[in-house]
Amino acid sequence: MLEGITTGLTLLAQSTGLYGFLQSGGWGNFLMILVGFVLLYLAIKKGFEPLLLIPIAMGCILSNIPFAYIAGDPDPVSGQVGFIQVLYNAGIESGLFPVLIFMGVGAMTDFGPLIANPKTLFLGAAAQLGIFTALIGALLLSFLPGINFDLNVAASIGIIGGADGPTAIYVTRYLAPEYLGSIAVAAYSYMALVPIIQPPIMRLLTTEKERKIRMQQMRPVSKLEKIIFPLEVITVCAILLPSACSLIGALMIGNLARECGCIDRLSDTMQNALMNTVTIFLGLSVGSKMAAERFLNLETLGILLLGMVAFGVGTAGGVLLGKLMNKLDPKHPVNPLIGSAGVSAVPMAARVSSKVGQEADPQNFLLMHAMGPNVSGVIGSAVAAGVLMSVVPVFVQMSQMV
């Protein structure tokens, strides 16, 4: 009887989280839980994109609790998977959440600044430079022992440079699904840390005089222009790049609902209820991929490093093109700071551009000017995704035939 009681107490003790932390590898789970608490601190205390960071942080914490089986492998006793894993399977692996996020972003976004000043489209395009920089960097890293990034994986890592989490998820599930968790975490981490990463780069590449540049007031944009714009974009995308139509189509559906003025209830649902619900589910799902056994390895750390480089290069590309525009057309000055908003973290990057500009001149209001390259960056990252999804499989197939 005493032996039975001892055995029972031992089994009971072995089912506790404390026992799991003390086992081999448990230190990694403990470390990742601490990372989750750091993310919560940044979100709650510092205000760094709490809508993203709080769900991601909670997903990270919950997925690293030993024997909870909330995400990842199913419970070995019941065989059931946890609720976060159900969300991940339904929304991330299927590609549904990124499309719904784009629909909500479209409903929340005013394309008026881009229509009023079309040349800001080039700033959004320049910021996509980070995508192709990271792609090349991933291929170079594959020469290191322990890292094996083929072209499919390199293209998926590169899309992080667009600072567009939904697009990164969408591309990765198509080209390199085995890396989906790591790339999603990297993309959303850098999206949330835009206020930390971008300002030093912006200040480094601009002078105080350039940061004080005041741009000309934008012309009014009519309702008809705003209705025609999403239809034009869908038409061009359908003709030239069908592989990008899922993301761009969802974006333009949301925007048309916003601008047409006759389905306000649907537009409101996309902007609020749908967007908030998907953000919660997506954040928890992404955070769950920060489980120690999947996150603490050389390849994941390489992805995080490349994502940082890509994000920095994308920011620099937009700023430098803004400086070049001033050289080519001094009569219509462009504040180079708005070029940094070409990464598609909407509207975070635009707010950062405006904030850095007001540090130099408190009366200089750049937010609406920055929204032009910001929304063009959303379109640009989706276009870059479509190009990669079309071209990369062809190159892979050609390499296998040689």
pLDDT tier at 133, thresholds 50, 70, 90:
confident
Cα–Cα distances in Å, from 151 out to 72, 243, 312? 27, 18, 22
Would you say 113 and 258 are in contact if contact means Cβ atoms under 8 Å apart?
A: no
Phi-psi region of 47 (alpha: psi -120 to 50; beta: other; left: phi over 0): left
Is pLDDT at 20 greater than 70 in this prediction? no
Looking at this protein, which amino acid is placed at residue 209? Answer: K
pLDDT tens track for 219-255: 899 999 999 999 999 999 999 889 889 999 999 999 9
Looking at this protein, which amino acid is placed at residue 30? Answer: F
What is the C-alpha separation between 285 and 278, in angstroms, rounded? 10
- Tokens 């480094």 label which residue? 204
The SS3 assignment for 94 reads: coil
Nearest to 274 by CA among 31, 137, 123, 97: 97
Nearest to 304 by CA among 189, 140, 139: 189
| For range 376-382, the mean pLDDT | 89
Distance of CA 373 to the CA centre of its chain: 16
User: What pLDDT score does 105 carry?
Assistant: 93
Q: Where are the domains of the chain?
A: 98-207+218-270+297-401
Would you say 65 and 29 are in contact if contact means Cβ atoms under 8 Å apart?
A: yes
| For range 149-172, the mean pLDDT | 86
User: What pLDDT score does 85 carry?
Assistant: 92
pLDDT tens track for 263-313: 999 999 999 999 999 999 999 998 888 887 777 777 888 888 888 888 888
Q: What is the DSSP string of 267-323?
A: HHHIIIIIHHHHHHHHHHHHHHTT-HHHHSSHHHHHHHHHHHHHHHHHHHHHHHHHH
User: Which has more confidence, 191 or 313?
Assistant: 313
Is the dihedral angle over the CA atoms 25, 26, 31, 32 positive or is it negative? positive
Is pLDDT at 24 greater than 60 in this prediction? no
pLDDT tens track for 61-83: 998 888 788 887 888 778 888 89
Q: What percent of the chain has pLDDT over 70?
A: 93
What is the C-alpha separation between 197 and 191, in angstroms, rounded? 10
pLDDT tier at 181, thresholds 50, 70, 90:
confident
Phi and psi at residue 351, in whole multiples of 5°? -65, -40
What is the C-alpha separation between 114 and 144, in angstroms, rounded? 43
What is the C-alpha separation between 210 and 262, in angstroms, rounded? 43
What is the C-alpha separation between 170 and 186, in angstroms, rounded? 14
The SS3 assignment for 366 reads: coil
What is the C-alpha separation between 394 and 33, in angstroms, rounded? 41
